[in-house]
Amino acid sequence: MIESTQNKQVKLWKKLKTKKGRQQENLYLVEGEHLVREAVEKLPERDIQNFILVEEYKDNVSNFPKEKIVWVGEKVAMELAETETTQGMFAVIEKKPAELPQTIHRPYLFLDAVQDPGNMGALIRTAAAAGFEGVVCGKGSVDPYNMKALRGSQGMHFNLGVYEGSLEEWILYFQNQGLKVFGTALDQEAEAYTSIAPASAPFALMVGNEGQGISSNLLELTDSNLYIPLADHVESLNVSIAAGILMFHLYDTR
């Protein structure tokens, strides 16, 4: 049982609370019983490097691979926690390589510079609920492995592919396979989303930054840009709500 917060292993785990640490180690940390149990259920065992647990879970983790469990004291758990009260259950998980998928079976959500971790989590959760295959975080987006974003995704993060990469590349990749890429915009040239019939073929939907929307150079690369007609005197919707409306309308899973 590790009791000291000065322990070398603890110091490495603590690094995973920062974006830089996660990039250097190619690992991320998830916190909380719900998220860790989701990871056990949904990820291949090799993807999880360690489980970090306080003693009280001793009789309650029979389905965790024993050799990967590290028991820690309360102080260490507090040190790793993001929230002020911690359940004392963590997992250290390998980040997947950011390679493009070989075949595309279902739609993808592209995120251009989405900056709020709560929005990032909600977008991932909603994309999974809509049956999307992946979420691609472009330049300027908050780290999807940010602990607040992971909490917001409610473990739905493990239900789809989460990628970080160049959206220019991803747009071209989709278009080269004959798949449509829809942007979202508030300008006059955009089309009302209701004019697009729901389809069961894969496509990509791109949403943008909370304040600025999608950058103009990306908007020029899409096949078409959509807008959601809003009531008078209303400027915009929250990005995760707008994306929810569009994903559930565009993708026909029936």
Instruction: Enumerate binding residues for a copy of itself (CB under 8 A).
Output: 42, 118, 122, 125-126, 128-131, 156, 159, 194, 228-231, 233-234, 236-238, 240-242, 244-245, 248-249, 253-254
Interatomic CA distance for residues 130 and 113, integer angstroms = 22
Of the pair 50, 146, the CB lying nearest a copy of itself is at: 146
Of the pair 30, 250, the CB lying nearest a copy of itself is at: 250
Two tokens, residue 29: 């940390």
Number of Cβ within 10 Å of residue 210's Cβ equals: 15
Q: Which H helix or E strand runs over 114?
A: none
Interatomic CA distance for residues 35 and 242, integer angstroms = 26
Of the pair 74, 101, the CB lying nearest a copy of itself is at: 101
Closest approach, Cβ 197 to a copy of itself, in A, equals 13
Closest approach, Cβ 126 to a copy of itself, in A, equals 6
Of the pair 173, 203, the CB lying nearest a copy of itself is at: 203
Instruction: Answer whether 93's CB lies under 8 Å from 27's CB.
Output: yes
Closest approach, Cβ 137 to a copy of itself, in A, equals 19
Closest approach, Cβ 116 to a copy of itself, in A, equals 11
Sheet containing strand 48-54, edge to edge, reads 27-31, 89-94, 48-54, 69-72
